[in-house]
């Protein structure tokens, strides 16, 4: 269903040629009052939005439309939000913020390997959500691509994908975020803490923080394309850097 727009501004749903594209937020939430409050807050901030009240509708929308971030209610009538998140993660690394009504659900979000980027406990202020949405988008989408045309790498932040020697890399979400952070600073040593900050919202949270494991995964995938080259450089006791050419 198309969300009723409380304050329909020209940029809230339409794409104006020549203007930067709005970030597209998908809200999957069955309570209309909560969805309305979110839609209003996000429109005010200039986001384009789409609202689905059912998990099945949300999944269908995600599979057919570009979405930059998903706000996902845990308690949906047709499918648990956790389960939907797992299904989304099988094909997409789109950032996901959980809405949860109960504090106990937070433990599951944090403890399980669901691949959520953040969560907000109801009742919440819509402005709080807007702030988190902006923070996550800032983190996951670099403003500028620091690497040059002659680079071994080609980064498309809008599509959240990276090409290496002409081949698209099949990266997990964390691998993508870590490699993206290294690509933004070619040749610079980034510490594990800096890479954690780049890839995780709350480095103190018990979400997967094993930077080394993800680096290993990245190296393996790069070697599959070009076995003789290892562009990821380990700086003992300091961190990692990336050779881009």
Residues in contact with Ca ion by the rule CB under 5 A: 30, 73, 75
State which residue has the least CB distance to Ca ion.
Answer: 75
Q: Minimum distance from CB of 143 to Ca ion (Å)?
A: 35
Cα torsion angle, 202, 132, 91, 169, sign: negative
- 22 vs 73 by CB, closer to Ca ion: 73
d(CA 54, CA 36): 15
Q: Minimum distance from CB of 5 to Ca ion (Å)?
A: 21
Q: Minimum distance from CB of 53 to Ca ion (Å)?
A: 9
Question: Residue 27: helix, strand or coil by DSSP?
Answer: strand
Cα torsion angle, 211, 212, 217, 222, sign: positive
d(CA 23, CA 38): 15
Q: Minimum distance from CB of 49 to Ca ion (Å)?
A: 18
Q: Minimum distance from CB of 34 to Ca ion (Å)?
A: 8
- 13 vs 75 by CB, closer to Ca ion: 75
In 3D, which of 138, 131, 155 has the Cα closest to residue 71? Answer: 131
Q: Minimum distance from CB of 217 to Ca ion (Å)?
A: 35
Q: Do 44 and 7 form a contact (C-beta atoms < 8 A)? A: yes
- 33 vs 144 by CB, closer to Ca ion: 33
- 55 vs 171 by CB, closer to Ca ion: 55
- 73 vs 117 by CB, closer to Ca ion: 73
Count of C-beta atoms within a 10 Å radius of residue 92: 16
Q: Do 146 and 186 form a contact (C-beta atoms < 8 A)? A: yes
Cα torsion angle, 81, 82, 84, 89, sign: positive
- 100 vs 241 by CB, closer to Ca ion: 100
Asked whether the bond before 123 is cis by omega within 30 degrees of 0, the reply is yes
Q: Minimum distance from CB of 31 to Ca ion (Å)?
A: 5
Question: Residue 174: helix, strand or coil by DSSP?
Answer: helix
d(CA 155, CA 204): 28
- 80 vs 158 by CB, closer to Ca ion: 80
């Amino acid at each position: 269903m198309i969300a009723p727009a409380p304050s329909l501004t020209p940029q809230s749903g339409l794409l104006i040629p020549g203007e930067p594209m709005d970030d597209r937020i998908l809200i999957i939430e069955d309570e209309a009052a909560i969805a309305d409050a979110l839609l209003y807050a996000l429109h005010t901030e200039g986001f384009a939005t789409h609202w689905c009240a059912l998990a099945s509708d949300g999944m269908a929308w995600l599979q057919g439309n570009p979405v930059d971030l998903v706000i996902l209610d845990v308690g949906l009538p047709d499918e648990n939000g956790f389960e939907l998140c797992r299904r989304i993660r099988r094909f997409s690394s789109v950032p996901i913020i959980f809405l949860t009504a109960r504090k106990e659900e937070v433990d599951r979000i944090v403890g399980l390997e669901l691949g959520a980027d953040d969560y907000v406990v109801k009742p919440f202020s819509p402005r709080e959500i807007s702030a988190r949405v902006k923070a996550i988008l800032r983190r996951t989408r670099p403003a500028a691509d620091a690497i040059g045309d002659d680079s071994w790498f080609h980064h498309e932040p809008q599509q959240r994908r990276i090409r290496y020697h002409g081949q698209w890399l099949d990266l997990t979400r964390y691998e993508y975020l870590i490699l993206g952070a290294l690509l933004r600073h070619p040749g610079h040593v980034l510490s594990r803490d800096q890479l954690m900050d780049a890839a995780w919202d709350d480095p103190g949270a018990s979400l997967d923080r094993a930077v080394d494991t993800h680096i290993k995964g990245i190296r393996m995938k790069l070697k599959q394309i070009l076995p003789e080259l290892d562009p990821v450089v380990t700086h003992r006791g300091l961190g990692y850097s990336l050779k881009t050419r």
